[in-house]
Amino acid sequence: MAVDKFSISLPADLLAEVDGIARADGLSRSAVIREATAEYVTTRVSAVYEAERSRRVGEAIEGFDAVAARWGVDERSSLDLLREIRGEDGAGEPARTKGPGRG
């Protein structure tokens, strides 16, 4: 992995905190700043991703609401709808159809 070097300016009290963490963890000053920067970047990228995901979910909900408004209220329960889709009767058994011997 290529590494670029650059200079940064930190207030003395912040630098003292960084140096204290580096000593306590047995790391270099650069390692502490590298880890902190990586965490900051990851948090920012995640926040952008989460905002986009939230926007898309909101759009999907609006779409579902629009469909529901066009279709109107369905008084059937979700269990009744599921049974209908599955072709089951009210007891969860396959619906019986008329045929030979089924009157």
Name the 3-class secondary structure at 12: helix
Please report, for the chain, the start and end positions of each structural domain, with discontinuous segments joined by +.
Answer: 12-72
Residue 101 φ/ψ region, left for φ over 0, alpha for ψ in the -120 to 50 degree band, beta for the rest: left
- In angstroms, rounded to a whole number, what is the distance separating the alpha carbons of residues 35 and 43? 12
pLDDT tens for the chain, 103 residues: list them. 898 999 999 999 999 999 999 999 999 999 999 999 999 999 999 999 999 999 999 999 999 999 989 988 888 899 998 999 999 876 667 666 555 554 4
pTM: 0.54
Tokens of 36: 């902190």
Tokens of 91: 């007891």
